[in-house]
Structure 1
Amino acid sequence: MAAAWLTTHTRIRPTTLRSYQIHVDRHLVPHLGRIRLNDLTGRHITAMIDTMAATVNRYGRLPTPATLHRIRATLRSALNAAIREGLLTDNPARHIEVPTPRRPHAQVWTTGRVHTWQETGQRPTVAVWTTDQTAAFLKHVADDRLAAMWWLIALRGLRRGEAAGLRWVDVDLDAGILTIEQQRVANGSTVAVAPPKTAASRRLIALDQHTVRQLREHQRRQRAEQRTASRAWTASGYVFVTDTGQPLHPDFLTRRFRHLVHDSGLPPVRLHDLRHGAASLAHCAGVDLKAVQAQLGHSSIVLTADTYTSVLTDLLVHAAEATARLVLAAAKRNPERRHHAP
């Protein structure tokens, strides 16, 4: 049933379809494929979840609650389709309990965490550089041909697919703005051009003067590469391309970033973690959370606050110091008095 259900999905994102396919092929069919649809019960599904929760993957790790939740959601969706087609009257996956997934909070690469990583190799699931570490990385990649892209992601928080899908027609360097109108989405070795992730992701992003200068220099370099490539050049119209004008595969950005981070000697972060850092940098610079939400293209300010405010170390320290100063100043204005019981 689940395999047949997949063939009906023609209007979903390629990455989502690929995720469904993995769930069906690796988990649902092996565990439930021999059970007739009408015989499927909640006990079968619970047994599958329990077995999966105790089985390590090819990397030697147990599946996370979020992974189990997504697989259960895929099965539930397929069984709902069976109900709509009259093949079932009830969804046995509806009441199955799965551990609630928790969004991992980003942690700053403090001196202590850097030492622990250097000694043990342990690192946070989601890690964010300090302002100084971000500046050190951007200085390290200043001569990289994609330096403007790293700067743009680190300061303005573009997603990987948004950076790969950015076109010159979406950029107005004179006005200092760009618009996110599309993204390039990887599906294995192929890449599809798709709308932004959500309606809120289709957004306008203001550019500071340094970023504008970075993009102008990048444009001059790209034109020089075009002259060198001559007839081999592909006029794709994208801002960030290969040295022959071909658009970039999003996975290449991830690999390139990983190599540059390793080469820099800085503690490791993922490419997507630069987006976390961009939010933190903006908020610490005095940008209110609502503006950060708009910059990142989040549909809810709750998501922005829950995901990123945990890394605002400098801002929280400043708030603590300011609160203490307020109380100490009040104490000086009001000398200590002895209070006597009546």
Structure 2
Amino acid sequence: MASFQRYSTKQSQMWLFKMDMGVNPQTGKRKTTTRRGFKTKKEAQIAAGKLEQELLSGTSLTNSTITFNETFAQWFSNHSKTIKPSTKKSIESKFKKHILPRFGKLKINEITRPYCQQMINEIAESIKSVNDIKIQANQVFKYAVKMDIIQKNPLEYVSIPKQQRDLINEDTHENERNYWKKDEVKRFLSITKEQLSLRDHTLFHLLIYTGARKGELLALKWDDINFETGSIRLTKTLFHNEGKFIFQTSKTRESKRLISLDTKTLSLLKKWRVEQIQANLANKGSTKESKIVFTRDDGSPMRLAYLNDKLGALIKRYKLHEVTIHGLRHTHASLLFEAGASIKEVQERLGHSDIQMTMNIYTHVTDDLKEQTAEKFQRYIEL
């Protein structure tokens, strides 16, 4: 027989049930199971009745004592061998911060769908990328089903709640804009030219003029730049892990790309190349050219967080519209659209594997582009 109990969560009152599972043949001790996360007592009673039927028919897998944490360890041991170090670090971080604190100690066969929904709702209150958290946790449950640890995936059919920040509010839309308009770009680059070193100014110029990711630019070698044809080859990215710098290949085939450079950007790169050689001569007494385009004074790779810190300081000091480093990539795409580039051209230049990623940026183009669209329609209709 099952016993039922009401308990409190951050969001509401929920129900759980406890059930005697009989004697464990390995230990000789009686074993109980607890299922929680039910909205009503009736839901808990229905689930308890179903479990009793499974026990009577011998189809239940609830004799397993394996926890979610143990299942995760099994899955990740295999999965981590198929992914890059940067992806491995990212997945570990998501599990450590959001998933294992909520699921880790629970026996995986006692995790219910209502409990999963409750946890997803809580996570959605604190972070925007809740769907990614669900995807990662789902891989562990799918592995458990495949390995016959559980019969059904409790995360299946769990929905992602609509977040309040996703609802467009005209008063807050401008503040949430994560890209710069043309006049804002000009002001920013004027500031970096006057206030920063040539290396840092060149880096920010490239972020805006190429739409490249910061890891791609910090992994650049001079061999990747063809001054004759005016192009730059992006095939790798810089990654920092456990105190070591790693140059790894780009994530997808589309990320490996050759893009054109304008004459202004080429001129700036040539100027920086000369200054870098002169700095090597002054610091090391060597005329040997650095292979890496952007380095620290001692020739080692730059910190990935350096550009974030520098951008944040400039925005605060000069009261600029707030954007992230990734927002500079969106800025490049937005201005390309304004300049008349097609969606396909922008997709190829940014290295998007999925055109939907490009379309998402396209839906957030600047007001200037929207005005141009209206003017184009007016000119056409009045001809």
Q: Deviations over 1:42-94 (max 9, x none)?
A: 2332232234445xxxxxxx333x32x22221111012222333323322212
- Work out the number of aligned pairs and report it: 309
Are 1:180 and 1:201, in contact at CA under 8 Å, matched by a contact in 2? yes
Per mean C-alpha deviation after superposition, the further-off stretch among 125-134 and 161-170 is 125-134
Instruction: Quote the Cα distance in structure 2 between the aligned partners of 1:12 and 1:211.
Output: 35
Alignment map for 1:4-83 (pairs within 5 Å)? 4-8=74-78, 9-53=80-124, 62-64=126-128, 66-67=129-130, 69-83=131-145
Q: CA RMSD in A?
A: 3.1
Q: CA deviation at 1:259?
A: 2.0
- Bigger relative contact order, structure 1 or 2 (CA pairs below 8 A, ≥6 apart): 1
Equivalent of 1:132, from 183, 208, 220? Answer: 183
- Of the candidates 172, 188, 192, which is equivalent to residue 141 of structure 1? 192
Give 1:100 shift: 6.0
Structure 2 CA distance for aligned equivalents of residues 104 and 247 of structure 1: 38
1:281 corresponds, among 335, 351, 366, to 335
Shift of 1:293: 1.4
Structure 1 residues 275 and 103: CA distance shift in structure 2, 3 A? farther
Residues 105, 307 of structure 1: 8 Å contact kept: no
TM superposition shift of 1:246 = 1.2
- TM-score, normalising length: structure 1: 0.80
Report whether the alignment pairs 1:292 with 2:292.
no
The residue type paired with residue 79 of structure 1 is F
Q: Secondary structure at 1:185's aligned position in 2?
A: strand
* Structure 1 residue 123: Cα displacement: 6.3
- How far residue 272 of structure 1 moved from its aligned partner, in angstroms, is 1.1
* Structure-1 separation of matches of 2:164 and 2:236: 29
**What secondary structure, in the 3-state scheme, does the structure 2 residue paired with 1:128 have?**
coil
1:88 partner amino acid: I
Find the partner of 1:216 among 267, 270, 275: 270
Asked whether the 8 Å contact 2:277–2:290 carries over to 1, the reply is no
Q: In 1, distance between residues paired with 2:236 and 2:378?
A: 47
Please report the TM-score for the alignment, with normalisation by the length of structure 2: 0.72
Q: How does 1:173-322 map to 2 (within 5 A)?
A: 173-187=227-241, 190-230=244-284, 237-322=291-376
**Would you say the 8 A contact 1:106–1:125 is kept in 2?**
no
Q: Distance in 1 between matches of 2:168 and 2:225?
A: 31
Counterpart selection for 1:172 from 226, 245, 253 = 226
Question: Any conservation in 2 of the 1:236–1:247 contact (CA below 8 Å)?
Answer: no
Alpha-carbon deviations, 1:282-321, whole Å to 9, x = none?
2222222221111111123332122134223222212212
Greater C-alpha Rg: 2
After superposition, what is the alpha-carbon deviation per residue over 1:161-188, rounded to whole angstroms, capped at 9, x for unaligned? 1111111111111211111010012447
User: Given the alignment, which residue of 144, 161, 166 partners 1:99?
Assistant: 161
| More displaced 10-residue stretch of structure 1: 246-255 or 236-245 | 236-245
* Structure 2: distance between partners of 1:289 and 1:164: 27
Between stretches 233-242 and 154-163, larger displacement belongs to 233-242
Equivalents in 1 of 2:222, 2:246: separation in Å? 19
CA distance in 2, matches of 1:26, 1:306: 28
1:104–1:125 CA contact under 8 A, matched in 2: no
Q: Aligned residue for 2:55?
A: none
Consecutive unaligned residues of structure 2, counting only runs of 5 or more, are 1-70
In structure 2, relative to structure 1, the CA distance for the partners of 1:257 and 1:36 (3 Å cut) is: same
CA shift at 1:193, angstroms?
1.9
Shifted more, 3-12 versus 137-146: the winner is: 3-12
Q: For residues 198 and 244 of structure 1, do their structure 2 counterparts lie closer, same or farther at Cα, with a shift above 3 Å needed?
A: same
Paired letter, 1:12: I
Query: 2:226 touches 2:232 (CA, 8 Å); kept in 1?
Result: yes
Q: CA deviation at 1:238?
A: 1.2
Give 2:146's aligned residue: 84
Amino acid at match of 2:303: H
- For residues 224 and 283 of structure 1, what CA distance do their matches in structure 2 show? 39
Q: Determine the structure 2 residue equivalent to 1:2.
A: 72
- Structure with greater strand share of residues: 2
**Cα distance in structure 1, aligned partners of 2:217 and 2:113:** 44
1:235 Cα deviation (Å)? Answer: 7.0
Counterpart amino acid of residue 94 in structure 1: E
Partner of 2:24: none
1:26 partner amino acid: K
When structure 1 is superposed on structure 2, of 145-154 and 97-106 the one drifting more is 97-106
